[in-house]
Amino acid sequence: MHYVYYIVSKKYDFSYVGSTDNLKNRVSEHNLGCNQSTKFYAPFELVYFEAYADKRDAIDREKKLKHHGSVIGHLKKRLANSLNRKT
């Protein structure tokens, strides 16, 4: 399986969208500071993911979430309660 995921920093106003074939490991890497883009914002909470059978579908969805503001905006509206709760 291939995953598109959405993580949110527990300390800062920062979120990140990515894709991977090992979701548990990838979130752990973000929390350990292994990713240049996110290392200063750890720790993270996984708030959403989607699973795909084909890697190309996951990459296409990740690109749409990252580069089309309305797409991530709609996702944030769907996740309003999850994003506004205190961790």
Domains defined for the chain, CATH in brackets: 2-84 (3.40.1440)
pTM for this model (two decimals): 0.89
- Give the model's pLDDT for residue 8: 95
DSSP 39: G
Q: Which residue has the tokens 């991530």?
A: 72
Per-position pLDDT tens, the chain of length 87: 999 999 999 999 999 999 999 999 999 999 999 999 999 999 999 999 999 999 999 999 999 999 988 898 899 999 988 888 655
- Give the model's pLDDT for residue 84: 81
Q: 68 with 21: CB under 8 angstroms?
A: no
The separation between CA 44 and the C-alpha centre of its own chain, rounded to angstroms, equals 9
- Give the model's pLDDT for residue 86: 55
The C-alpha atoms of residue 9 and residue 41 are separated, in whole angstroms, by 6
Q: 19 with 50: CB under 8 angstroms?
A: no
